[in-house]
């Protein structure tokens, strides 16, 4: 038996269905609900939630950069050209130099590495050596932009890179992003920390634009309200299509 529905009855049915979809969306907002911890300080397993992220350890409040694996260093020994080298930090965080062998450099600043090289060469081979180390290529000076960005991916940083600049490099936000739920993850020593920043507040001048460092991971989460609105629009579009099909010729 064929049953005929008016366009209003079809619209009512679809609106009821869409209401259920919206309710489910607002109750389960995906990964953002697990991390929407605001600016409270506390622990979440191995992850420490803080209101503001501190700069990486042993960097003089971010003035120095720590050398990492795969970084390319240029070592210049004054007036001893035979010892000059361009070396890449290996997977164990070491470089190899003439006479003194391997030197652990990962996790150290340029100044610290220079001091160590001068001490080791001065102990046996050179009198008062002058050694300069340059960071020629840095694999660690990159941030990861993940989640609701138009162009997520890896992006280079400088000594003055900020969160707003990184968002711009990633093409801004997608249509479903929640600009108040931008989480920045950072490794501080042996601890993993995360802080929640609101881009809306930063743009309005209510919050400071935080500096980013190489190795940071920035995640933009989905807005439940925007997802609900999107679902409603799709449901209404479906209802309109169904009502046209139900209209007798």
Please state the domain extents for the chain: 33-58+140-223, 72-137
Given the DSSP bridges, would you call strands 217-222 and 142-147 parallel, antiparallel or unpaired? parallel
How many other C-beta atoms lie within 10 A of the C-beta of residue 15?
14
The residue among 229, 245, 232, 248 whose CA lies nearest residue 14 is 232
pTM given for the model: 0.59
Segment 131-171, tens digit of pLDDT: 999 988 887 778 999 999 999 999 988 778 899 999 999 99
Distance of alpha carbon 194 from its chain centroid, rounded?
Answer: 10
Supply the CATH classification number for the domain 33-58+140-223: 3.10.560.10
CATH superfamily, with its number, for domain 72-137? wza like domain (3.30.1950.10)
pLDDT in tens, 83-137: 999 999 998 999 999 999 999 998 888 999 999 999 999 999 999 999 999 988 8
Cβ(197)–Cβ(208) under 8 Å?
A: no
């Amino acid at each position: 038996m064929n049953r005929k529905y008016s366009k209003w009855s079809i619209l009512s049915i679809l609106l009821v269905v869409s209401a259920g979809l919206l309710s489910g969306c607002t109750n389960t907002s995906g990964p953002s609900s697990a991390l929407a911890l605001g600016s409270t300080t506390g622990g979440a397993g191995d992850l420490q939630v803080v209101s503001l992220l501190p700069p990486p350890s042993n960097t003089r409040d971010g003035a120095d950069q720590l050398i990492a694996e795969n970084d390319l260093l240029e070592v210049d020994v004054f007036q001893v050209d035979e010892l000059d080298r361009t070396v890449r930090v290996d997977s164990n965080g070491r470089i190899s130099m003439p006479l003194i062998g391997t030197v652990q450099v990962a996790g150290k600043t340029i100044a610290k590495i220079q001091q160590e090289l001068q001490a080791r060469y001065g102990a046996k081979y050179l009198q008062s050596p002058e050694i300069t180390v340059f960071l020629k290529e840095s694999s660690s000076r990159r941030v990861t932009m993940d989640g609701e960005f138009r162009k997520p991916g890896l992006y280079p940083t400088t000594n003055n890179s900020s969160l707003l600049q990184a968002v711009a490099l990633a093409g801004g936000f997608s249509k479903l992003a929640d600009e108040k739920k931008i989480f920045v993850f950072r490794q501080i020593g042996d601890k993993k920390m995360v802080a929640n920043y609101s881009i809306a507040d930063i743009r309005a001048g209510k919050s400071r634009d935080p500096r980013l460092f190489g190795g940071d991971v920035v995640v933009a989460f989905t807005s439940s309200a925007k997802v609900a609105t999107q679902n409603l629009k799709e449901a209404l579009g479906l209802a309109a299509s169904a009502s046209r099909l139900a209209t007798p010729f």
